[in-house]
Amino acid sequence: MHAITIEQPGGPEALVWADVPDPVPGEGEVLVEVAASAVNRADVLQRQGFYDPPPGASRHPGLECSGRIAAVGPGVSGWSVGDEVCALLAGGGYAQRVAVPAGQLLPVPAGVDLVTAAALPEVVATVWSNVFMVAGLRPGETLLVHGGSSGIGTMAIQLAKAVGATVAVTAGGPEKLARCKELGADILIDYREQDFVAELRAATGGGGADVILDIMGAKYLARNVDALAVNGRLAVIGLQGGVKAELNLGALLAKRAAITATSLRARPLEEKAAIIAAVREHVWPLVAAGRVRPVVHGTFPMREAAEAHRVLESSTHVGKLLLTV
C-alpha cells in the first residue's frame, strides 16, 4: 500500500507518499480501507520531530480516518467487513489502510458522507472528553473557546449550544468570528484587537467563564484564571503558547477553580474506548439530527498532504482540512 512517510523531520516537504508494508490487524483490531483522513496540529508537530507516536502505534501521521472495514481481526465482535466507519487513531491515518482497535471505531453517522466523516473522530472525542466528561459543562453555563474557528473550536461551539450553554470564542479577525457566530457563538472576541478577559467580564456581567477550553497553554494561563468564574474549570488541551508559566495559586483558591490538562493520543485503549462509547451515545444522535455538523474548509488528495499542512500552518482556514485517498 501507499502512505505518507516522514524520513527526516522538517517542513511540509518532509511528507512523502511512498510504498510501505500493509498493516495486519491484531487481536481486537480491524483493518480499515481508508477513504479519508484529516489534518491536525499534532500531525504538524510529528512532522517537525516534536511529537512521536506512542509505542506500538503506526509511524505514519494521521489521528483519525473514515473508510470501510476490509478485515476483522481475532476477538472482534459487532463489526463486519464492508461496514462504513470512522475511527480515532494513535497514528496511521495518512495511508491507504490502517489497523484500528475495535473500541475506537464509530459508525458513519446518518446524514454524513463517508469522506466528511473523517472530520469527526478527533475533534468530537477531544471536545466531549474535556468539556463534558472532565470539565462538566452544564446547561446555562458559559464556555469560552480559544481558537473558535479551528476544527476543535467549531465542534465545541456546536456541542455547547446543543446542551444549552452560552458560548464565547476568541478568533483572529472579523471573518473567522462571523463563521463562529453562524455556528451559534454568542460572545465574539477578536484576540488581535481585544482583551478577552475584559470582553468576557463585560459580556457576562463580571461573572466570567464556567469552563474554558484552551489550546495556548503557558501564554494564556494567568489570563485564563482571571477569566474564570467562581467554581470555574480550565481545560488545557494545547501548548501553542508554550509549556511553562507562573501560576497565582491565590487567584485559583479565591475562585475555588480547577485546572486540568489532557492529551488523547497516548491514553490507554480502555480510556479511548470509554470516550468513543460516550461520543456514540451522546453526540451521534445530535449529528444524525443535524444539530451538530462537521465543518470542512477544504479537501486535498492524500499525496498532497504537504499542501494541506501549509494551509493549516497559515491559520487561514475555518474548520477541518481533509485528505482523500
Three-state DSSP class for residue 18: strand
CB burial of residue 270 (10 Å; 0-12, 13-18, 19+): exposed
First to last CA, the chain: 11
Per-residue pLDDT reduced to its tens digit, 169-181: 999 999 999 999 9
pTM for the whole structure:
0.96
Per-residue pLDDT reduced to its tens digit, 75-119: 999 999 999 999 999 999 999 999 999 999 999 999 999 999 999
| Cβ contact 119:294 at 8 Å | yes
Neighbours of 262 (CB within 10 A): 14
| Cβ contact 298:274 at 8 Å | no
DSSP 120: S
pLDDT of residue 64: 98
pLDDT of residue 174: 97
Per-residue pLDDT reduced to its tens digit, 126-144: 999 999 999 999 999 999 9
Which set of grid coordinates corresponds to residue 169?
A: 470564542
Mean pLDDT along residues 299-324: 97
Outline where DSSP puts E strands in the chain: 2-6, 15-19, 29-38, 64-72, 84-88, 97-101, 105-107, 142-146, 166-171, 187-190, 209-214, 228-236, 258-261, 296-301, 320-324
In 3D space, the residue among 108, 57, 64 whose CA is nearest the CA of residue 82 turns out to be 108
pLDDT category at 211 given cuts 50, 70, 90 is very high
Per-residue pLDDT reduced to its tens digit, 249-287: 999 999 999 999 999 999 999 999 999 999 999 999 999
pLDDT of residue 267: 95
What is the torsional sign of CA 98, 103, 104, 105?
A: positive
Per-residue pLDDT reduced to its tens digit, 149-206: 999 999 999 999 999 999 999 999 999 999 999 999 999 999 999 999 999 999 999 9
pLDDT of residue 136: 98
Instruction: Output the CA–CA distances (angstroms, integers) from residue 13 to 21, 36, 259, 305, 315, in the order listed.
Output: 22, 20, 38, 9, 18
pLDDT of residue 58: 97
| CA atoms of 107 and 174, how far apart (whole Å) | 36
| CA atoms of 153 and 182, how far apart (whole Å) | 13
State what percent of residues in the chain have pLDDT above 90.
Answer: 100
